[in-house]
Amino acid sequence: MSLEFVDESIGQNEKGTLWRLLKYLGPHKGRVALALLLLLGATVADVLQPILVKVFLDRYLIPRHFPETQLILLGAAYLLLVIMTAGLNVLQLLMFQTLALDIIQSLRVELFDKVQTLALEFFDQTPVGVLVSRITNDTQAILDMFMTVLSTFVQNIVIVIGVMGGMFALDPRLAFYCLFILPVMGLVMWVYQKVSSPVFRVSRQRLALLNAKLNESLQGMAIIQAMRQERRLRREFGDVNEAYRKVRYRNTQINGLMLRPLVDVIFMFSLIVVLGFYGTQSFFHAINIGILYAFVTYLSRFFEPFNNMMDRLNFFQQAMVSAERVFRILDNPSRRPEPEGADRPAITRGEVRFDDVSFSYDGETDVLKHLSFVAKPGQTVALVGHTGSGKSTTINLLMRFYPVERGRITIDGHDLKSFSEDEIRSKMGLVLQEPFLFVGDIASNVRLGNEELDDEAVQEAAQFVQADQFIDHLPDGYHAPIGERGATLSTGQRQLLSFARTVVRQPTILVLDEATASVDTETEDLIQDSLRKMRHGRTTIAIAHRLSTIQDADLILVLHHGEVVERGTHQELLAKRGLYHKMYLLQGGLKESAVGQ
Amino acid sequence: MRVFAELMWFFKAHRRQYISGVLFIIMGSTMSLIPPKVVGVVINHLTTHTMTVRFLLEALGLILATAVLSYGTGYLWRVRVFGGSIQLATELRDMLYSHFTKLSPEFYHHHRIGDLMAHATNDVQAIQETAGSGVLTLVDSITMGALVVAAMAITISWKLTLICLLPLPLMAYAVTRYGRMLHDRFMVAQEAFSDINDRVQEYVSGIRVVRAFGQEAWERRTFVELSRDVVQKNVAVAKIDALFDPTISVIVGVSYFLAVAVGAVFVVGGSMNLGNLTSFTLYLGQLIWPMLAFGFLFNTVERGSASWDRVKALLAIKPTVVNRPDALTTAPSGGIRFDIESFRYPESDRAVLADVHLHVPAGSTLGIVGRTGTGKTTLMRLLLREFDLTRGDISIGTTSIYDVELEALRSAIAYAPQDDFLFSMSIQGNIAFQNPDAPFSEVERMARLADVHEDIVRFQEGYETLVGERGVTLSGGQKQRVSIARALLQDAEILLLDDTLSAVDARTEATILNALKETRQGRTTLIATHRLSAVEHADQIIVLDDGRIAERGTHEELLRQEGRYAEMWSRQQLESLVEQGGAAL
Q: Specify whether the CB–CB gap between A365 and A393 falls below 8 A.
A: no
**What strands, in cross-sheet order, belong to the sheet with A563-568?**
A428-431, A509-513, A539-543, A380-384, A555-560, A563-568
What integer is the mean pLDDT of A466-493? 82
**φ/ψ (deg, to 5) at A286:** -70, 155
Reduced to 3 states, what is the DSSP secondary structure of residue A339? coil
Whether A501 and chain B come into contact, CB under 8 Å, resolves to yes
Minimal Cβ distance to B212: which of A79, A230, A399: A399
What integer is the mean pLDDT of A254-267? 92
Q: Do A410 and A481 sit in the same domain of this protein? A: yes
Rg of chain A (C-alpha set): 36
CA–CA gap between residue A28 and residue A35 (Å, rounded): 11
Which of residues A271, A305, A329 is at a domain's end?
A329
We report the CATH number of the domain holding residue A431 as: 3.40.50.300
CA–CA gap between residue B346 and residue B112 (Å, rounded): 17
* Digit-coded pLDDT (tens) for A275-314: 999 899 888 888 888 888 888 888 888 888 888 888 887 7
Give how far A57 is from chain B: nearest CA, Å: 9
Amino acid at B27: M
List CB contacts of B547: < 8 A, sequence separation 6 or more: B351, B352, B353, B354, B356, B374, B375, B378
pLDDT tops 70 at residue A176: yes
List CB contacts of B322: < 8 A, sequence separation 6 or more: B406
What integer is the mean pLDDT of A322-332? 91
What integer is the mean pLDDT of A186-197? 91
Question: Averaging pLDDT over each range in A192-196, A581-585, B274-278, B540-544, which range is the top one?
Answer: B540-544
Q: Do A464 and A390 sit in the same domain of this protein? A: yes
pLDDT tops 90 at residue A514: no
Beta bridge partners of B548: B545
Total number of domains in chain A: 2
CA–CA gap between residue A374 and residue A410 (Å, rounded): 9
Expressed in angstroms, the distance from the first to the final Cα of chain A is 55
* Digit-coded pLDDT (tens) for B301-322: 888 999 999 999 999 999 999 9
Q: Does some domain include residue A128?
A: yes
Q: Does some domain include residue A412?
A: yes
Average pLDDT across chain A, whole number:
86
Alpha-carbon distances of A565 from A373, A393, A562, A576, rounded to whole Å:
13, 16, 9, 12
Q: Does some domain include residue A5?
A: no
Lowest-pLDDT range of A36-40, A99-103, A581-585, B2-6: A581-585
What integer is the mean pLDDT of B193-203? 87
ipTM, interface predicted TM-score of the complex = 0.88
CA–CA gap between residue A541 and residue A553 (Å, rounded): 10
pLDDT tops 70 at residue A480: yes
Host H or E run for residue B337: strand B336-344
Q: Which of B27, B101, B513 to mutate to test the interface with A (most CBs of A within 10 A)?
A: B101
Per-residue confidence band for A3, with pLDDT thresholds at 50, 70 and 90: very low
What integer is the mean pLDDT of A214-222? 90
pLDDT tops 90 at residue B148: yes
Q: Does some domain include residue A336?
A: no
Q: Do A302 and A436 sit in the same domain of this protein? A: no
pLDDT tops 50 at residue A596: no
What integer is the mean pLDDT of B510-529? 90
Residues comprising chain B, all counted:
585
Which of residues A312, A329, A346 is at a domain's end?
A329
CA–CA gap between residue B318 and residue A13 (Å, rounded): 51
Q: Does some domain include residue A559?
A: yes
Residues of B in contact with A130 (CB under 8 A): 469
Closest CA to B371 of A489, A521, A587: A521
Domain extent at residue A303: 14-329
We report the CATH number of the domain holding residue A18 as: 1.20.1560.10
Q: Do A323 and A391 sit in the same domain of this protein? A: no
Host H or E run for residue B91: helix B83-102
The reported pTM is 0.80
Q: Do A243 and A391 sit in the same domain of this protein? A: no
Question: Averaging pLDDT over each range in A203-217, A536-550, A558-572, B56-70, which range is the top one?
Answer: B56-70
* Digit-coded pLDDT (tens) for B449-489: 999 999 999 888 899 998 876 667 787 788 899 999 999 99
* Digit-coded pLDDT (tens) for A360-381: 887 778 889 999 999 999 999 9
Q: Specify whether the CB–CB gap between B303 and B183 falls below 8 A.
A: yes
CA–CA gap between residue A594 and residue A585 (Å, rounded): 11
Q: Does some domain include residue A341?
A: no
Identify the pLDDT of residue A11. Answer: 53
Q: Specify whether the CB–CB gap between A276 and A176 falls below 8 A.
A: no
Per-residue confidence band for B573, with pLDDT thresholds at 50, 70 and 90: low
Give how far B53 is from chain A: nearest CA, Å: 8
Beta bridge partners of B528: B368, B498
Which of residues A267, A295, A329 is at a domain's end?
A329
| Range 368-407 of A in CB contact (< 8 A) with B | 386-387, 399, 401
Minimal Cβ distance to A82: which of B113, B116, B253: B253
Burial-class residue A223 by CB neighbours within 10 Å (0-12, 13-18, 19+).
buried
Identify the pLDDT of residue B334. Answer: 93
List CB contacts of B148: < 8 A, sequence separation 6 or more: B33, B283, B286, B287, B290
Closest CA to A270 of A204, A402, A382, A180: A180
CA–CA gap between residue B238 and residue B215 (Å, rounded): 34
CA–CA gap between residue B149 and residue B162 (Å, rounded): 9
Burial-class residue A487 by CB neighbours within 10 Å (0-12, 13-18, 19+).
exposed
Beta bridge partners of B544: B549
Closest CA to B218 of A438, A546, A8: A438
Q: Which of B44, B193, B211, B536 to mutate to test the interface with A (most CBs of A within 10 A)?
A: B211
Rounded to 5°, the CA angle B64-B69-B75 comes to 130
Host H or E run for residue B522: none
CA of B488: which chain A residue's CA is closest?
A227
Q: Do A145 and A271 sit in the same domain of this protein? A: yes
For CA atoms B59, B64, B70, B72, the dihedral sign is negative
Q: How many helices (H) and strands (E) does chain B have?
A: 24, 10
Identify the pLDDT of residue A595. Answer: 36
Q: Do A254 and A384 sit in the same domain of this protein? A: no
Beta bridge partners of B413: B494
Identify the pLDDT of residue A594. Answer: 36
Residues of B in contact with A252 (CB under 8 A): 78-79, 82-83, 86
Average pLDDT across chain B, whole number:
89
Identify the pLDDT of residue A130. Answer: 83
Neighbours of A576 (CB within 10 A): 14
pLDDT tops 50 at residue B249: yes
Residues of A in contact with B429 (CB under 8 A): 2
Angle, to 10 degrees, between the axis of helix B135-150 and the axis of helix B274-316? 160
Q: Do A406 and A270 sit in the same domain of this protein? A: no
Ramachandran bin of B548, using left for φ above 0, alpha for ψ from -120 to 50, beta for the remaining angles: beta
Per-residue confidence band for A519, with pLDDT thresholds at 50, 70 and 90: low
Q: Does some domain include residue A350?
A: no
Angle, to 10 degrees, between the axis of helix B83-102 and the axis of helix B15-31? 150
DSSP A300-313: HHHSHHHHHHHHHH
Per-residue confidence band for B157, with pLDDT thresholds at 50, 70 and 90: very high
DSSP state of B122: I
Identify the pLDDT of residue A293. Answer: 87
CA–CA gap between residue B261 and residue B323 (Å, rounded): 76
* Digit-coded pLDDT (tens) for B386-431: 999 989 999 999 999 999 999 999 999 999 988 778 898 899 999 9
Rounded to 5°, the CA angle B199-B205-B211 comes to 95
Whether B319 and chain A come into contact, CB under 8 Å, resolves to no
Q: Do A405 and A514 sit in the same domain of this protein? A: yes
List CB contacts of B290: < 8 A, sequence separation 6 or more: B140, B141, B142, B144, B145, B148
Q: Do A310 and A379 sit in the same domain of this protein? A: no
Host H or E run for residue B356: strand B351-360
Reduced to 3 states, what is the DSSP secondary structure of residue A337? coil
| Range 309-338 of A in CB contact (< 8 A) with B | 336
pLDDT tops 50 at residue A455: yes
Q: Do A301 and A387 sit in the same domain of this protein? A: no
Closest CA to B176 of B295, B45, B341: B295
CA of B209: which chain A residue's CA is closest?
A436
DSSP state of A154: I
Per-residue confidence band for A129, with pLDDT thresholds at 50, 70 and 90: confident
Q: Does some domain include residue A340?
A: no
Contact A590 B533 (CB under 8 A): yes
Closest CA to B549 of B359, B267, B287, B270: B359
Closest CA to B547 of B325, B319, B316, B343: B343
**φ/ψ (deg, to 5) at B320:** -85, -25
Amino acid at A104: I
**φ/ψ (deg, to 5) at A344:** -125, 80
pLDDT tops 90 at residue A584: no
* H-type alpha helices, A220-357: 221-226, 230-258, 260-282, 289-302, 304-330
Whether B238 and chain A come into contact, CB under 8 Å, resolves to yes
Per-residue confidence band for A199, with pLDDT thresholds at 50, 70 and 90: very high
CA–CA gap between residue A436 and residue B204 (Å, rounded): 11
SS (H, E, C) A38-87: HHHHHHHHHHHHHHHHHHHHHHHHCCCCCCHHHHHHHHHHHHHHHHHHHH
Per-residue confidence band for A82, with pLDDT thresholds at 50, 70 and 90: very high
Burial-class residue A414 by CB neighbours within 10 Å (0-12, 13-18, 19+).
middle
Largest CA distance in chain B: 126
Minimal Cβ distance to B47: which of A289, A436, A520: A289
Q: Specify whether the CB–CB gap between A540 and A509 falls below 8 A.
A: yes
Q: Do A459 and A325 sit in the same domain of this protein? A: no
* The CA-based dihedral angle spanning residues A107, A112, A117, A120, taken in that order and rounded to the nearest 10 degrees: 130
CA–CA gap between residue B277 and residue A519 (Å, rounded): 86
CA–CA gap between residue B121 and residue A550 (Å, rounded): 52
Closest CA to B335 of B551, B526, B553: B526
What integer is the mean pLDDT of B234-256? 90
Identify the pLDDT of residue A334. Answer: 84
* Digit-coded pLDDT (tens) for A425-450: 889 999 887 788 888 889 999 988 88
